Structure 1
């Protein structure tokens, strides 16, 4: 009995093409990425070099104990994520299925109550808001300052940038330029700059003026550039930031140059004036954040929000279906910028003094990181992302050199992108896109598997 080798050979060749080596499997690729991250992090936070020995930094970094500690931590993260996450996921899903089994399941009953009874839903939201308002009063003065000057301010900025990136899908690397416009608007209209304003305004009255100013700035940025896409648009926004930064730094007769704006008045209303105490500003910022969230939730589910979604998914298809892409992208830039204007006014009034260095390009990158880490397109996500990533460098201040804190922040972002690219609290649409892309279905707007999806 003879065998037909001419038939077996093509099958063997096809099998070889389908074969995936062990180092090409996603699990081991993730391990390699984590180990590479550990090596880079060790070098970046190690000893500084010197002119006498150019290899001093590398030699001390690779011979010390820090390398092995960081690599061990990377391997531990990999082991926990690869070998226990599946068990935890199955246990969680089983618990949910048991709780939701049948119409009488407790989980299903709770969901139905929250979904169908507005009083319960609003009661839960009121409880969360009450905790947010009361708990910071029990913290130390340092952490209250962090909450007001950083967490709340950057949360407002993240809400605005989420409109541009999360909903409209426009990469903006110069978003803090609008923050600077809002701050300098407050300084100008309160008489804190060399140029005298036509009329001196209260800071509360400056807020709508700053919003309009930032709207105009957003239109001026967007009008000539919104026909660009992707990296080209990002470079233009980066250039816009540098223009605003350099004008603020060099226009001594208008912005007071590097000396900055001084003695900016505090907020005042109905005979009460905000002082150096932090909590009144916290209550003001929480009120503004809640107001912005309510407005933007309504906006997300409106005709404008659906147009932004269509543009983000496929701009060509959106234009082919009658969506005025230039108009709606311009609206995204303008509306996102207006939120930065509000944040700029409150920040200027709170600190009383600022200079152009408060609006460096690093701050734009940080706001972008907060949005991506929390979950693009998700308002709860960007608030949580801003809170966590602002808290982390401050929590490390007693253990890590100031110059190295953001290295650990970057390492956390890399780990997050490896294992949870959708963010801490993703939007449902974004989560669905990433799941489809991971399975190789459709042309989802996400980081995809290689061609053909999973084998």
Structure 2
């Protein structure tokens, strides 16, 4: 039920958004005719939409609080099955996986080259998000300089092709290895750091790499960048521009599948459990005999490996690299992908990457306000689902009753 306090809060929210967006949506300057257009109707729409959105969010939060109180009630009745429980059934997941595979495989057949190119970029960010998810989501280390490893991979291919005329397939593993090497170089100085201090050091590392590439002209060609980078070859055949775009798209699908498989295996392996233990409690993890140094270095190295390979793909896709492509904004976008999708969740990171990369493109129909709408969607998402789109399901253990303990040899049964 909507109370007077909720209405007042919604009114204040609407007025506040009207005040913040006033210069953007109301004032429009025409420098040619030297006139100023006052679009007051836009401000009214902003106020109404903010008012309604605030009411909806308040209602959702109140319902969530009521649900938590009912769950804490020991005499609550048996809750009925939720309508979204069917989404977690194995049959539905298998059908969704098959449908997604068919859609991705047939995507170039039904869409233009422009759409395929956008989807290739989105898949590239899927790989970057999964790589950063190892460091941020699984280990809990805030890395704000992840774009540096991305730049290392891109410049590895560009420089190898410029000086040694090496092809894409030779540069791909080299880019991954150099990314892992730079991950180790970053990991050693920050072993004792955590929280804000770790974020500041990693941010500085990303800026150092970008500034070196921008100012060391003899090595990286400086701000001019490196052009005419060769695209991947298919058994020496010459491909048309449209066929090349489709070929890169299918190669990115292969890299995404490989990344998901490796990250999933790592997540459920011994090292993956050690990462999660380090994220939950570093002192307890070290007390159990886990080598904290090796675990952190392995996370930085493995996460940077995928960034290096994605950088090689980026250089092959654009055929041109320069330091302006590897700013802090790229690290922020990749971090937003991990946080929005759900830290530690593979499916969530994939969904977050597709939303964050594709949504701005398909909001071009409202070109003047697409970034404003994009930011508003992110704000609402973080309020309604702070744990992310698809939060990872934690492993829990349920202790049986005393009667069950006497009849069963197991003291606890794991429940996922």
TM-score of the superposed pair, with normalisation by structure 1 = 0.74
Deviation at 1:247, TM superposition (A): 0.9
Deviates more, 1:30-39 or 1:178-187: 30-39
Deviation at 1:392, TM superposition (A): 1.9
Residues 206 and 315 of structure 1, relative CA distance in 2, 3 Å threshold = same
Q: Which runs of 5+ in 1 are unaligned?
A: 1-20, 51-55, 101-106, 115-119, 433-455
**SS across alignment from 1:224:** coil
Residues 44 and 285 of structure 1, relative CA distance in 2, 3 Å threshold = same
Alignment correspondent of 2:295: 328
Alignment correspondent of 1:168: 139
Deviation at 1:165, TM superposition (A): 0.8
Structure 1 residues 142-183: Cα deviation after superposition (integer angstroms, max 9, x where no partner):
2222112x2111111111111111111111111111111000
Alignment correspondent of 2:336: 369
Distance, in Å, in 1 between the alignment partners of 2:55 and 2:15 is 12
Structure 1 residues 227-255: Cα deviation after superposition (integer angstroms, max 9, x where no partner):
11111111111111111111111111111
Match of 2:323 among 341, 356, 365: 356
Deviation at 1:127, TM superposition (A): 3.5
| Contact 2:60 2:384 (C-alpha < 8 Å) held by counterparts | no
Deviation at 1:81, TM superposition (A): 4.3
Distance, in Å, in 1 between the alignment partners of 2:319 and 2:58 is 49
Deviates more, 1:204-213 or 1:125-134: 125-134
| Contact 2:17 2:46 (C-alpha < 8 Å) held by counterparts | no
Alignment correspondent of 1:436: none
Match of 1:73 among 31, 34, 49: 49
Deviation at 1:223, TM superposition (A): 0.5
Residues 131 and 22 of structure 1, relative CA distance in 2, 3 Å threshold = same
Distance, in Å, in 2 between the alignment partners of 1:366 and 1:30 is 30
Distance, in Å, in 1 between the alignment partners of 2:176 and 2:9 is 47
Report the number of matched residues.
376
Match of 1:96 among 75, 81, 84: 81
Match of 1:258 among 195, 204, 223: 223
Asked if 1:141 corresponds to 2:113, the answer is yes
| Contact 1:171 1:233 (C-alpha < 8 Å) held by counterparts | yes
Structure 1 residues 38-67: Cα deviation after superposition (integer angstroms, max 9, x where no partner):
6434445554799xxxxx99xx88x82222
Asked if 1:346 corresponds to 2:313, the answer is yes
Distance, in Å, in 1 between the alignment partners of 2:84 and 2:325 is 51
| Contact 1:310 1:318 (C-alpha < 8 Å) held by counterparts | yes
Aligned runs of 1:113-262 on 2, under 5 Å?
114=91, 125-148=97-120, 150-191=121-162, 196-197=163-164, 200-262=165-227
Q: Which runs of 5+ in 2 are unaligned?
A: 68-77, 397-416
**SS across alignment from 2:394:** helix
| Contact 1:227 1:326 (C-alpha < 8 Å) held by counterparts | no
Alignment correspondent of 2:271: 304
TM-score of the superposed pair, with normalisation by structure 2 = 0.80
- What is the Cα-based RMSD across aligned positions, in Å? 3.4
**SS across alignment from 2:365:** coil
Distance, in Å, in 2 between the alignment partners of 1:31 and 1:322 is 55
Distance, in Å, in 2 between the alignment partners of 1:22 and 1:311 is 46
Larger RCO of the pair (alpha carbons < 8 Å, separation 6+): 2
Alignment correspondent of 2:236: 271
